[in-house]
């Protein structure tokens, strides 16, 4: 029986481990956090779990929907249509349908028509390769017009990618627009249920799940087996599937070699930072608010309880304040109180009536390698799943391109990877 070691307990690692176990192979999954789910994991709040970083599904997320069905959670899947808006000049503009685009008063009618036509084209165009050789900056200026770009899209790109906003390939932007649906799917009670269920099924099939076990190093011995050194001891396996970021996999596995490291070890990513507030009343009537006005300390505001019922969280109104930043940004070194002092005054620009006394609780979460920097030529810099070490596979979020995050994309990648494996490798 093939012994598999899966590094990482997010959506990708858990799905890969489940499929390996279903093949009748031995599998042990390692995850440094105490709970499964990775970036989609949550914590208990009221009668539900709340994700540490905001999450939802689109109608196009067929891999996630199929897995939810397979694991018996379909009855908890709901499809609300929350409001999506953009803050421009201190005013909130709803932008989540053709009609609201026509009503987008921040630009003249001729620009709205041009915006609507370009978005319509991107929704219909299936071949993202057409857009791999130009930047979002250039494409959108040309086809949507300079006024629409400067008003709407440039602030969005600057907010997400900082000074690198004009390097991002248009194929990345295509994926943001092409795949999205106005109705957003959610597991009532939190996505943690999905990941707990995955871990449970893996164990029922004889697999091991080692949460709270951090990888220290990986080496291959002369017999062709791998030794995984973790904080809970050493483990010998025949095959490794690393779902960790490529740079971290290289650091942990020196035997991958200098050539591999030089070629694939420099994919850039930003970290994710989320401050979650519990309020005693609503802040807005919007779920997703893109911030296009300058001077805000966060790039997006997501009022979760304008999407899910406030009763699920013990009557608390839940607001995420999100950022994607270089991992050496000073924000990542601040404590919760320092971040609150920086963030809370900005909420008055969203709702002038806001008072700090509305805040009844707060939580802060940070994660490295959360937002790939998808610049021109990105696809050519991605590592293949196979590595110089036979039976050592790499599959991580960078390889879901042209997507760059999302539970379903990770699940689909795991499905493709494991279904394409040959029989048991020789011992």
Same structural domain, 193 and 240 = yes
- Establish if 310 belongs to a structural domain: yes
Q: Kindly tell me if the per-residue pLDDT of 296 is higher than 50.
A: yes
Average pLDDT over residues 328-340: 97
| 359 Rama class: left (phi>0) / alpha (psi -120 to 50) / beta | beta
Whichever domain contains 44, its CATH number is 3.50.50.60
The structural domain count of the chain equals 3
Place of tokens 């929350």: 82
Q: Kindly tell me if the per-residue pLDDT of 425 is higher than 80.
A: no
Last residue of a domain, one of 123, 149, 178: 178
Dihedral through CA 407, CA 409, CA 412, CA 416, nearest 10? -140
Angle subtended at Cα 110 by Cα 114 and Cα 291, rounded to the nearest 5 degrees: 70
pLDDT value of residue 1:
81
**What one-character DSSP code corresponds to residue 177?**
H
- Establish if 356 belongs to a structural domain: yes
Average pLDDT over residues 251-267: 94
Query: Please, which residues have CB within 8 angstroms of residue 314's CB and are 6 or more apart in sequence?
Result: 45, 46, 47
The percent of residues above 90 in pLDDT, for the chain, comes to 94
What is the tens place of the pLDDT at every residue in 313-328? 999 999 999 999 999 9
pLDDT value of residue 222:
82
Same structural domain, 28 and 12 = yes
**What one-character DSSP code corresponds to residue 253?**
-
**Residue 126's domain spans which residues?**
97-178
Same structural domain, 397 and 332 = no
Whichever domain contains 292, its CATH number is 3.90.660.20
- Establish if 66 belongs to a structural domain: yes
Same structural domain, 256 and 287 = no
Q: Six-digit token pair at 90?
A: 């201190």
What is the tens place of the pLDDT at every residue in 46-88? 899 999 999 999 999 999 999 999 999 999 999 999 999 999 9
Same structural domain, 101 and 123 = yes
pLDDT interval class at 426 (50, 70, 90): very low
- Establish if 424 belongs to a structural domain: no
Give the Cα separation of 302 and 84 in Å (integer): 9
- Establish if 52 belongs to a structural domain: yes
Mean of all residue pLDDT scores within the chain = 95
pLDDT value of residue 405:
82
**What one-character DSSP code corresponds to residue 153?**
I
Same structural domain, 151 and 238 = no
pLDDT value of residue 267:
85
Same structural domain, 72 and 216 = yes
pLDDT value of residue 424:
45
pLDDT value of residue 180:
84
- Establish if 380 belongs to a structural domain: yes
Count the neighbouring beta carbons within 10 Å of the beta carbon of residue 94: 16
What is the tens place of the pLDDT at every residue in 120-169? 999 999 999 999 999 999 999 999 999 999 999 999 999 999 999 999 99
Same structural domain, 255 and 384 = yes
- Establish if 60 belongs to a structural domain: yes
Q: Kindly tell me if the per-residue pLDDT of 220 is higher than 70.
A: yes
What is the tens place of the pLDDT at every residue in 90-112? 999 999 999 999 999 999 999 99
**What one-character DSSP code corresponds to residue 388?**
S
pLDDT value of residue 223:
82
Nearest Cα residue to 307 out of 188, 177, 179: 188
- Establish if 90 belongs to a structural domain: no
Last residue of a domain, one of 178, 212, 231: 178
Same structural domain, 313 and 279 = yes
**Residue 176: is it exposed, middle or buried by C-beta count within 10 angstroms (0-12/13-18/19+)?**
middle
Dihedral through CA 25, CA 31, CA 34, CA 39, nearest 10? -110
Give the Cα separation of 296 and 155 in Å (integer): 11
pLDDT value of residue 186:
98
Same structural domain, 57 and 140 = no
Q: Six-digit token pair at 25?
A: 């192979």
Same structural domain, 123 and 101 = yes
Same structural domain, 199 and 72 = yes
pLDDT value of residue 423:
65
Last residue of a domain, one of 178, 211, 244: 178
pLDDT interval class at 404 (50, 70, 90): confident
Q: Kindly tell me if the per-residue pLDDT of 310 is higher than 80.
A: yes
**162 close to 269: Cβ distance less than 8 angstroms:** no
pLDDT value of residue 171:
97
- CA distances to 58, 122, 123, 336, 409 from 184, rounded to whole Å, are 5, 20, 17, 30, 16
């Amino acid at each position: 029986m093939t012994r598999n070691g899966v590094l990482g307990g997010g959506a990708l690692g858990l799905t890969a481990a489940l499929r390996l176990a279903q093949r009748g192979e031995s599998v042990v999954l390692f995850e440094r956090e105490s709970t499964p789910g990775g970036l989609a994991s949550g914590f208990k709040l009221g009668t539900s779990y709340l994700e540490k970083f905001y999450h939802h599904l689109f109608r196009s997320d067929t891999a996630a929907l199929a897995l939810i069905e397979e694991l018996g959670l379909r009855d908890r899947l709901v499809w609300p249509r929350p409001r999506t808006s953009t803050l421009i000049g201190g005013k909130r503009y709803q932008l989540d349908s053709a009609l609201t685009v026509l009503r987008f008063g921040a630009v003249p009618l001729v620009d709205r028509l041009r915006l609507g036509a370009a978005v319509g084209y991107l929704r219909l165009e299936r071949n993202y390769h057409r857009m791999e050789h130009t930047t979002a900056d250039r494409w959108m200026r040309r086809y949507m017009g300079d006024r629409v770009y400067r008003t709407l899209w440039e602030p969005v790109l600057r907010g997400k990618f900082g000074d690198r906003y004009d390097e991002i390939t248009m194929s990345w932007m295509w994926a943001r627009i092409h795949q999205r649906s106005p109705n957003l799917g959610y597991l009532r009670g939190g996505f943690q249920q999905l990941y707990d269920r995955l871990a449970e099924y893996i164990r029922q099939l004889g697999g091991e799940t080692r949460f709270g076990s951090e990888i220290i190093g990986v080496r291959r011995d002369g017999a062709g087996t791998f030794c995984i050194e973790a904080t809970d001891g050493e483990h010998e396996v025949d095959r490794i599937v690393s779902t960790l970021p490529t740079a971290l996999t290289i650091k942990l596995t020196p035997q991958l070699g200098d050539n591999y490291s030089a070629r694939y070890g420099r994919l850039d990513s930003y970290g994710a930072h989320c401050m979650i507030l519990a309020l005693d009343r609503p802040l807005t009537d919007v779920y997703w608010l893109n911030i296009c006005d300058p001077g805000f300390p966060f790039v997006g505001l997501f009022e979760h309880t304008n999407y899910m019922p406030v009763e699920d969280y013990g009557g608390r109104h839940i607001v995420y304040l999100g950022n994607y930043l270089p991992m050496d940004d000073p924000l990542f070194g601040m404590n919760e109180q320092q971040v609150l002092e920086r963030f809370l005054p900005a909420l008055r620009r969203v709702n002038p009536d806001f008072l700090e006394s509305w805040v009844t609780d707060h939580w802060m979460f940070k994660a490295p390698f959360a937002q790939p920097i998808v610049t021109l030529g990105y696809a050519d810099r991605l590592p293949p799943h196979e590595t110089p070490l036979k039976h050592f596979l790499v599959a991580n979020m960078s390889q879901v391109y042209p997507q760059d995050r999302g539970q379903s994309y990770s699940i689909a990648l795991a499905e493709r990877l494991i279904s394409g494996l040959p029989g048991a490798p020789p011992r």
